[in-house]
Structure 1
Amino acid sequence: MVASMSAKKTLCLFVVILSLFFHLTYSLAASPLRVGVYCNKPLVFQGEDGSWQGLCVDLLQDIAVREGWELEYVPGSWNQCLQRLEAGEIDLQLAIGWSAERARHFSFSSEPVFVNWGTIYVRPDSSIKSIVDLKNKTVATLENDIHRQVFADLLQRFQITCRLVDVQQYSEVFNLLQKGEVDAGLVNRLYGSINEGHYAVERTAMIINPIKVCYAAPLGQKSVLAAIDSNLARMKKETGSVYYRILDHWLGVAGQVKEVIPPWLKWVFGVTFLFMLFALAANSILKRQVADRTAELKQANDRLQKSQEKLDLALKGADLALWNWTIGADEIMVNDRWYTLLGYEPGEFPLSYEKWEELVHPDDLKQVSQMLLHHLAGELPFYQAEYRLRAKDGSWAWVQDRGQVMEWDEDGKPLRAAGTHQDITRERQEQERQQRLEAQLQQVQKLESLGVLAGGIAHDFNNILTVILGNNDLALNELSPSSTASARIEASSQAVRRAAELAQQMLAYSGKGRFFIADINLNELVTDMGHLLKVSIAKQVVLQYHLGKNLPAISADVSQLRQVVMNLITNASEAIGERSGVLNLTTGVMDASREYLRESYLDENQPAGLYVFMEVSDTGCGMDKETISHIFDPFFTTKFTGRGLGMAAVLGIVRGHHGAIKVYSEPGKGTTFKVLFPAVSREAVAMNHRLEDDVLWRGSGTVLLVDDEETLRALGKEMLEMLGLTVLLAEDGVQALEVYRQHAADIACVILDLTMPHMGGEQAFRELRQLNKDIKVIIASGYSESDIEDKFLGKGLSGFLQKPYQLGDLQAILQSVLPDQA
């Protein structure tokens, strides 16, 4: 009897539970499922017949038939849909992207429909290529769109000022962009792909925020979402299911979609009366479901972590070239920007590690490869390097490469690495330009300081030489030509003249040597020196000429140019040494650009234009970079007997002629010097030789000789008297003024030293001009004539006498200044 009563109670309890189950099921089936819809083709939109269509709509309708749901579509704008979902006024929202922020307000399906992302569109004629180009631009976005939020954060992170214009539909984004009311627009990639052909817009390579597109319900309401997850998991598992047919219908991607989440276990159907009676069986099922759900959550968390890595990489790589290297398979996937950075079409060739090595500059490859290997070995926390990649046109693009290993196997070996390439070509070019300018500035300062030193030495040296040379000259005039002493004095004078040439070379190095400028033809000068050049080189060296035709004239000093040619030829011959070799002397004309001239040894901002050049090349020993950097320094020489002034003089003469010089050399491969001089449009004059007049000119009148060196005063007085002139002496500028005031009516000319104590020549000249504006003054100095011209230009200077001077030089200058004296 007791057993019978217990059985009846159990049966009643089961009937009650079963009644409640069917009641709830009936209530759920009886109440329509309110679904929020908005226009986002091809995910959800309203067709021409007024019905709601799209990928997410078709999937939901198929699931609704299986679950026995009645659907009620509630249309509205995107903002209205979000507001209704949060207020519980709708039960389900279609086509909504998942984010951590939204997950705090809504419940999402665990099984996504697919992955979508945002894309930036511009007008076809736009110059916007990267996110940096959006600075101070206007961009249309969908209000409260998940891509808009990430895009705004990205702009703030990169400190890019950009005005966002919010609209209610994606179609309004394209409309505003087509009308030119905004500079760019942000839509999701599916809407853009389907609708971009209907508007005058162009898709860029800028990708924003990859996200999962899901279904969503009010927060905490997960029963409908659980049924959707179950159906989606089942459909994705079955090849050829309605899921893939719907994707193929709307996107044309059947058979190409990979599962985002592994399939769930099949729900247990046909729950029997036995599972409801026995708690043990129900508890077992519950444990199994909890375990399965835990495994699914772990897999979802792993996928979320990988997605976060990709998202971080996308954010860091906005407008950067992205690379993803599968190390074992040696496959490197890159985005379109990587190809365009090097001038290639996107996907023009597959990329592998071997191909990457071919593109890296040979000088950079070893160092970059070592850094990458150190990172793969775990010795460096990340990989970063700057190097050159060969572009399609053969040029070299500088990139900053950053990356790190993203996946390892169980043994800790790297499986996958990812990173970015940033184009830093302009920055490196600017950096190199600044370094070149700094080096050139240092070189100019060095030349100027050494030039001042060389000029000072030459001045004092010339004073001494003037005394020796002048006394020799006087002695020769007093001796009979047959005297044995004449030969000795002439030998002494010859040595003095060689010493004077050294002084002139020092002045030439400073760029301020004495120039007699004329319009000359370089070929004529080289040809005229042919015999001299031949005897100046070693017998085993062959000199070959390659003279260009129809060269324009250059404005130059013939003697200085001869010195350049001679120094370059002898230097090249000595570089060949005792071996047999070849010297090539080439002339020509070229149109030199500023870029070409900027690469010369000492860029002094020579203007672009037509230049006549002379090139001297040899097959000698060549030079390393260290030697080249000092080749033009005064007193630097690699020869045992050299003085180190020849090449210094070449540089000074070229600078003085506003030219340029280039040096090409490698150890063991010879050397080439190329000097360039500005061409002139005038006709070249025939070269002639200055002839000295053997007849001694004699003048009359009084000359005031002013010099602080007593020996020079005595020598000068004797020379002037030999020329028939009366001489007054003064040892500085102060004394010269006193003498002039006393004898102004008698003095026909003043020979004035430039550098003197108490009052120098420049101040004394001004004071003398105040006493007599027509006074004739000759400046005598060991400094160069160009220095004197700069100081006395336009001030009435009558002439310049270069120290050391001989009697003939003194006669020539006086004869020109005092032409009426006889």
Structure 2
Amino acid sequence: MTLTQHTSQGTILVIDQDASVLSSYILHLEEFGYEVLSAQCGRSAIDLIAVHSPDLIISDLRIPSIEGHPFFGHLHKRWPEIPVIVTSATGEVSDVVACLRKGARDFLIKPIEDMAILSHAVTRAIREIKLRKQNQAYKELLEARIPQNSGKLKNTNRYLTELNRRLTEVVASSKRLSTCVTLESFGTRLLQEFGHHLDASGGSLYIAGQEGLRLVHCLDDGHAPSLISYPVEKSSPFGFALRQKEPVLIGDINGERELRPSGFGGYHNGSFVIFPLQNQEGKAFGLVSIHGKKKPPFIHQDREVGGLLASYSSETLRAVRAMEALAKSEEKYRLAALTASDLISEWTPATDDLVWFGNIDAVIGSTPENRPTTLEAWLSLIHPDDQKRIAETYRKNINCATAPAMDYRVRHLAHGWRHFRERTSTIKSKGGGAKVLRACNDITIEKNAEEERIKFELKMQHAQKLESLGIIAGGIAHDFNNILMAVLGHADITLEEVGDNPAAQKSIKNIITAGKRATELAQQLLVYSGKGEVETTTVNINSLVSDMMRLIDVSVSKKVRIIFHPGDHTPAVDGNQSQLRQVILNLLTNASQAIGNACGQIVIRTGKIFCTKDDLAACSMPMRPGVDPPLPESTYTFIDIEDTGCGMDETAREKLFDPFYTTKKTGTGLGMAAVLGIVRQHRGTMTISSTPDVGTRIRVFLPSSCGKSEEQKVPEKPPTEKLIQQKDGLILIADDEEPVRKISQRMIEKLGFSVITACDGKEAVSLYKTHQKDISCIILDMTMPGLNGSEALERIRALNPSVKAIIASGYGSDTSRSDPDSDESCSYLQKPYQIAELRQVLQKVLNGHGPSTPEEHRR
């Protein structure tokens, strides 16, 4: 307990058990000239009050000896004339209300960072005390006046009594205002108090914002604008009040020359009063406007009473705004922690306490009972492959202000593993302790999406690789056919010219046989590249496999048992019978070679199945982006071939469809490539499952047909060859390959025609213009630089619509035919062709009949 030197400003007793708080209060109040008494407990304070009778008491809510509300009740009962200002670190609304009911004049929240708040509260309380003393002195003085002035004294006394009553009510109003915790409730209560004290029915409260004065509350709705934009006009009442920085009383606005009426016609009269709300620096941050006095006009006493209420309410309003801002900030932080994708937590290394601010239970499936509340418990949930790395990282980063992000997996208590990305920041206290703030973000969706993206990119790269291989294969087949054209053509002609030389004839026939085998390889490449022709019929899959069983039995090892389980009601398919036969034969050959010389079994099954989009997407056959449209959900006919052979590893499965890739010593690597091309052309797909040393199962899906399968036709006898009626005509041959032009010229001349040749389409058109009358037929290569065969034929037909033409190509007819609707004046010739095939096509074109497709050419 201490006592400072006496001053004339007044005596203040400060009660607080914290010596540092007492010291700061004493230093600040002494600077304003107050005599300051101090006590650290309730009993010492009562002794000091009894001896010194202070003018004001500042007491903490929690003090030793006599604590809390009983102490303030005792003070109010024993010394009601001494005002009490209560301080507290809690700021609970219930404490505020209880203290005010016990007689406290004000309530301040500790710690008081701005001591101006303390001095302002003290000054206000002291001013109230002095005002009461002055009123009492005036009253006593007036009562002592001479009797002749008794009437005047009575009026003055009544005035002062009324003023004292009103001031007392203002103090009570300030207490009620201090219980408000939101700006909205404060604004409503404030205008109610102003209306009550000034006997008015209208008014509004405006608070300064960034854009202007914004309306908080209005007693009489309907006329006050929600926003008065900056700058506020100087000639307006509000502008005038802001410039004056003090209450403005206007008896009749219509009689004011400098002020402009607002234009609102709903006022009962032109009298009103405006009170600025000011901060510690004297700057106005709000305005209270009161009008509609029941007994107008407003008088000077209204200005003084309202000014005192405005002064009280300014301080309270600042506290309310600060509390509301703090509450909003805390709520935002709480909501942010609950709704953020990051799980915010705080780890104290010294105690290993882990406190979560986010909804950790929703993320990892925990409950309050098994929630990880220590770092050790959290590490136990981390994937075993990540635990050691993460624990070491925690140890290294414990002294880092900010550490790099780290990714790891955390076990969800019900749904497997989740992927997390964590960032940590370490905050050190003055005492040397540390707390680590952790932000854990669940990136499972992103990780899964990244894995799917990588898988998709690999799948796309593989499909693009196969597409590139298909383009290469098509180009090789085309060039290969041109080479074979020269080989087979010269061999064919030579065979006719050698005469009766058996040895030479045998050698040339061997050359032709080898050339035809090479042609078959080229056809397989064309099928793989998707450029081979497909002429479809309705094919019965069960019948197709049954018819092939004899051929299959001959082509596979005797140690291999072949079992066929035809499905009941297996739908037919629309396809090319010879190509589908090739698919089955290639798959069975691969299955037999996978078994080798060992004993084994091959099972063939057929049937039907409805495939969804997910089923089709899971198939093993690579799709070409931008080329192969997605397969529709539908009923598919399947051919299932399962063997007990050596199986395939991952590498073999990935390269299964690559042309020229084979694991066999004698294989060409074109079997599965051809199967891929055929299935693609039939708008089908495949699934492949294989296990090394167990076996392989390949299932081919083909769209089911709605039509009935055609009965197998009895092969017709080859038609009797007819001679070409015209043999003295001129034939124009256009081909960019010189060996092809030369051998084609020899074949045509062998058939009795004259020949002119062109190296490209442009030269062909030019030669036709010159020799149009003499040319009987033109033979155009489909792929030539500049003008291709189709474009050259189009220009020639512009000269002669009835020109007879043959389109020759190393590709299939579907990609080479110049006009699908062409008549018998145009036909197709597949390279490499022999002289017999050339004779048949010329017979068809020149005589107006004969075969029209490559298959019929070779029949």
1:748–1:776 CA contact under 8 A, matched in 2? yes
Q: For the structure 1 residues 104 and 672, does the alpha-carbon distance in structure 2 shift closer, same or farther, using more than 3 Å as the test?
A: farther
What is the aligned counterpart of 2:646 among 617, 621, 644? 621
Counterpart contact for 1:544–1:583, Cα < 8 Å: yes
Matched, 1:524 2:543: yes
- Which stretch shifts more, 469-478 or 644-653? 469-478
Matched, 1:507 2:535: no
Counterparts of 2:435 and 2:645, CA distance in 1: 53
Could you tell me which residue of structure 1 aligns to residue 792 of structure 2? 764
Contact 1:64/1:70, CA 8 A, preserved across alignment:
no
Once the two structures are overlaid, the 10-residue window that deviates more, 397-406 or 614-623, is: 397-406
CA deviations over 1:368-420 (Å, ceiling 9, x no partner): 3343343466589688335486795x7x675325377999xxxxxxx999967
Deviation at 1:89, TM superposition (A): 8.2
Write the letter of the residue equivalent to 2:667.
G
Task: Tell whether 2:600 aligns with 1:581.
Answer: yes
Secondary structure of 1:635's match? coil
Tell whether 2:579 aligns with 1:560: yes
- Residue in 1 that maps onto 2:622: 602
Aligned to 2:340: 318
Q: Are 1:800 and 2:828 counterparts?
A: yes
Give deviations 1:700-729, integer Å, cap 9, x for gaps. Answer: 234624144565456545655777x64533
Question: Is the counterpart of residue 655 in structure 1 residue 674 in structure 2?
Answer: no
Cα distance in 2 between the residues matched to 1:523 and 1:347: 64
1:623-677 deviation line (CA, Å, top 9, x unaligned)? 3333333232222222222222222222233333333334333444433334333
**Residue 542 and residue 718 in structure 1: after superposition, are their counterparts in 2 closer, same or farther (change >3 A)?**
same
How far is 1:460 from its partner? 2.2
Whether contact under 8 Å (2:571, 2:607) holds in the other structure is no
Q: 1:589 to 1:432 in 2, by over 3 A?
A: farther
Q: Does the CA contact (< 8 Å) of 1:620 and 1:671 recur in 2?
A: yes
Equivalent in 363, 367, 375 of residue 385 of structure 2: 367
Is the 2:486–2:743 contact (alpha carbons within 8 Å) kept by the matching residues of 1?
A: yes
Q: Which residue of 1 aligns with 2:815?
A: 787
Cα distance in 1 for residues equivalent to 2:547 and 2:349 = 69
* In 1, Cα distance between equivalents of 2:372 and 2:738: 84
1:802 CA displacement: 0.9
Deviation at 1:500, TM superposition (A): 0.7
- Superposed CA deviations along residues 170-200 of structure 1, whole A, max 9, x for unmatched, are xxxxxxxxxxxxxxxxxxxxxxxxxxxxxxx
CA 1:549–1:389: 2 relative to 1, 3 Å: farther
- Residue 777 of structure 2: aligned partner: 749
Structural mapping, 1:35-50, within 5 Å? none
Following TM superposition, by how much is the alpha carbon of 1:779 offset from its aligned partner in structure 2, in angstroms? 0.8
Superposition deviation, residue 764 in structure 1? 2.5
Please, which of 837, 844, 853 is the counterpart of residue 809 of structure 1? 837
Which of 703, 710, 728 is 2:755 aligned to? 728
State the distance in 1 between where 2:497 and 2:814 align.
35
Shift of residue 774, structure 1, vs aligned partner = 2.4
Shift of 1:617: 3.5
Check the 8 A contact 2:588/2:641 in 1, yes or no. yes
Question: Aligned residues: percent identity?
Answer: 33
One-letter identity of the residue aligned with 1:494:
T
Change beyond 3 A, Cα 1:694–1:795 = closer
CA distance in 1, matches of 2:578, 2:114: 87
Question: Structure 2 counterpart of 1:750, which letter?
Answer: I
Q: For 1:544, what is the secondary structure of its paired residue?
A: strand
Amino acid at match of 2:677: G
Q: Using the alignment, how far apart are the partners of 1:786 and 1:391 within structure 2?
A: 60
- Residues 37-436 of structure 1: pairs in structure 2 closer than 5 A: 64-65=69-70, 91-92=106-107, 315=337, 318-320=340-342, 340=362, 365-375=383-393, 378=396, 384-387=406-409, 398-402=418-422, 422-436=441-455
**Which stretch of the first structure deviates more once superposed, 491-500 or 681-690?**
681-690
Find the aligned partners of 1:22 and 1:698 in 2 and give their Cα distance.
145
Tell me the equivalent position of 1:636: 661
CA contact (8 A) 1:338 1:421 kept: no
SS in 1 for 2:482: helix
The structural deviation recorded for 1:516 is: 1.9
In the alignment, is the contact (CA less than 8 A) between 2:337 and 2:344 conserved in 1? Answer: no
**Structure 2: distance between partners of 1:104 and 1:693:** 120
CA contact (8 A) 1:662 1:673 kept: yes
Q: In the TM superposition, what whole-angstrom CA distance separates every residue of 1:718-753 from its partner, at most 9, and x where no partner exists?
A: 655777x64533233455445544554564432222
Q: Does 1:455 pair with 2:474?
A: yes
Change over 3 Å in CA distance of 1:493–1:416 after alignment to 2: farther
Letter in 2 for 1:764: A
CA distance 1:717–1:334, change in 2 (3 Å): same
Per the alignment, in what secondary structure is the counterpart of residue 704 of structure 2? strand
Q: Please tell me whether residue 439 in structure 1 is matched to residue 458 in structure 2.
A: yes
Indicate conservation of the 8 Å contact 2:690/2:696, yes or no.
yes
For 2:808 and 2:492, how far apart are their aligned partners in 1? 18
Q: Quick one: structure 1 residues 504 and 372, their matched pair in 2 at CA, closer, same or farther if it must change by over 3 Å? A: same
Count residues with an aligned counterpart: 570
> Residue 300 of structure 1 corresponds to which residue in structure 2?
none
* 1:468 partnered with 2:487: yes
Residue in 2 that maps onto 1:493 = 512
- SS of equivalent to 1:514: coil
State whether residues 590 and 613 of structure 1, in contact with CA within 8 Å, keep that contact through their aligned partners in structure 2. yes
Query: 1:230 corresponds to which residue?
Result: none
TM-score, normalised via structure 2 length: 0.53
Q: Report the Cα distance in structure 1 between the residues aligned to 2:673 and 2:371, rounded to whole angstroms.
A: 54
In the alignment, the residues of structure 2 paired with residue 811 and residue 768 of structure 1 have an alpha-carbon distance, to the nearest angstrom, of 23
Corresponding residue for 2:241?
none
C-alpha displacement of 1:596: 3.8
Distance in 1, matches of 2:539 and 2:116, equals 88
> Cα deviation per residue 1:91-118 (whole Å; 9 max; x = unaligned)?
448xx9x9999999899xxxxxxxxxxx
Distance 2:115 2:778 in 1: 102
In structure 1, how many angstroms separate the alpha carbons of the residues matched to 2:837 and 2:111? Answer: 96
Alpha-carbon offset, residue 495 of structure 1: 1.7
- Gap regions ≥5 residues in structure 1: 1-15, 37-55, 108-140, 146-164, 169-218, 220-307, 408-414
Distance 1:783 1:730 in 2: 21
Q: Distance in 1 between matches of 2:353 and 2:637?
A: 54
TM-score, normalising length: structure 1: 0.55
Indicate the SS of the match to 1:751: strand
Give, as a single letter, the amino acid of the residue that structure 2 aligns with 1:587: T
C-alpha distance in 2 between matches for 1:635 and 1:527: 30
Structure-2 residue corresponding to 1:543: 562
Task: Judge conservation of contact 1:513–1:786 (CA < 8 Å) in 2.
Answer: yes
Take 1:761 and 1:533, find their aligned partners in 2: how far apart are those partners?
Answer: 42
Contact 1:398/1:428 (CA < 8 Å) preserved in 2?
A: no
Q: Relative to 1, partners in 2 of residues 1:688 and 1:821: Cα closer, same or farther, differing over 3 Å?
A: closer
Across the aligned residues of Structure 1 and Structure 2, the Cα RMSD in angstroms comes to 5.8
Structure 2 segments unaligned to the other structure (5+ residues): 1-37, 77-83, 120-180, 186-213, 218-279, 281-329, 428-433, 851-859
Partner Cα separation in structure 1 for residue 420 and residue 714 of structure 2: 63
Structure-2 residue corresponding to 1:704? 731
